[in-house]
Amino acid sequence: MTTGDSWRERRRALLGDDPAASEIAARLLEEMGTEDRDDEEVEAEHRASRLAAVHDYDPDARLDEELQLRLTGPDTEGGALRFQWGDALLNPVENAISVAAGTPVQLELTGISTGSTVVHARPVPSVASEPAAMDAPATSAASTGMQMLTRLLGALEAEQDVREWSRLFDAVDTLARALGKYELDLGMTWFGADGGMRRAQLTERGRRYVERLRETRPRDQEIIISGRITELRESGWVKVKTGTARNAQAYDVHFEEPEALLRMRPGLGDNVHFRVRFRQRLDAVGIARSTEYTYLGPAAEQSSLPLEP
């Protein structure tokens, strides 16, 4: 796996006019076994070595953070980034990292490498955190987000339980849909300020698993809703507010037979006690994708239920 700015290619170009030096370098690489590693692993090792050397005279030194996005698919052989890919993919990547970090993270494009399409990006520096390097957080928001995001992507590729990352699932779902639209696989490599490296990918296998996790199943229970009618619609919908406070819970109750609602002759402000079917459609991650309240009949007595819609 190589890119247009591969460290091996740069090194060989420098030694191209010196056959003896080139032979020595090739023999050394063979002895060290570094040719079995890809460029990202070698780059991570070089970064860690540089940081260790700088720490000898500056214990607070940190490396610049970098994110590499590798796109592979039927149309990536040219090593170019199509405008439609960038528009569809870059924002979902940034949003997924922000959701994982729990705070907005802004990224900026720094370059594109050829081979497969490799996008280089970095977090936009925060002006507020610039004054004192010693006061800078040990882990940046972008790094925190990448740690969580790479763990989730790894679980998706392995088709494991991902419910612990449920708050991040919708952001990754958006990214998976965009990749599927253009038949692209995504590889992510994060080079941290501490010299560490994290990698993950979202391939067709992971995208198909996301699709299965999106499938919903109904969960029904019978409840009683008591309150005051605040809205009526001829199509068979009634809004029932459970209290007088402005922020009191309100429910949209559906009558499957609008004629049943007309026979009740309800009026705005009337107090009602409805027996309803509360239906949620849950996906495999446990996220409620829809909620419905369907009228079943009158309730014998008032019983308020502070249930979230």
Give the pLDDT confidence score for residue 1 in this predicted structure. 36
Same domain, 101 and 69: yes
**% pLDDT > 70, the chain:** 72
- pLDDT above 80 (res 64): yes
33-37, 66-70, 140-144, 187-191, range with the lowest pLDDT: 33-37
**Residue ranges making up the domain that contains 279:** 218-298
Residue 51's pLDDT is 62
Average pLDDT over residues 289-296: 94
At 264 the pLDDT is: 85
Residue 207 has pLDDT above 80, yes or no: yes
Whether 154 and 230 map to the same domain: the answer is no
pLDDT at site 133: 42
Do the Cβ atoms of 42 and 160 come closer than 8 Å? no
- Same domain, yes or no: 257 and 223: yes
Strand order of the sheet with strand 197-202?
107-113, 117-123, 66-72, 185-191, 197-202
**pLDDT at 177 > cutoff 80:** yes
Q: Strand pairing of 66-72 and 117-123? A: antiparallel
Report the Cα 147 to chain-centroid distance in Å: 12
Specify the pLDDT at position 5.
46
Tell me: do 145 and 210 sit in the same domain.
Answer: yes
Q: Are residues 41 and 161 in the same domain?
A: yes
Q: Is the pLDDT of residue 15 over 80?
A: no
> Of the residues 163, 191, 214, which one is the last residue of a structural domain?
214
pTM (global) more than 0.75: no
Q: Identify the top-confidence range among 11-15, 37-41, 62-66.
A: 62-66
**How many domains are there within the chain?**
2
Phi, psi of 154 (to 5 degrees): -60, -40
**104, pLDDT greater than 90:** yes
> Which residue, of 214, 236, 271, is where some domain finishes?
214
Average pLDDT over residues 264-275: 89
Between 304 and 153, name the one with better pLDDT.
153
pLDDT digits (tens, 9 = 90+) for 105-115: 999 999 888 66
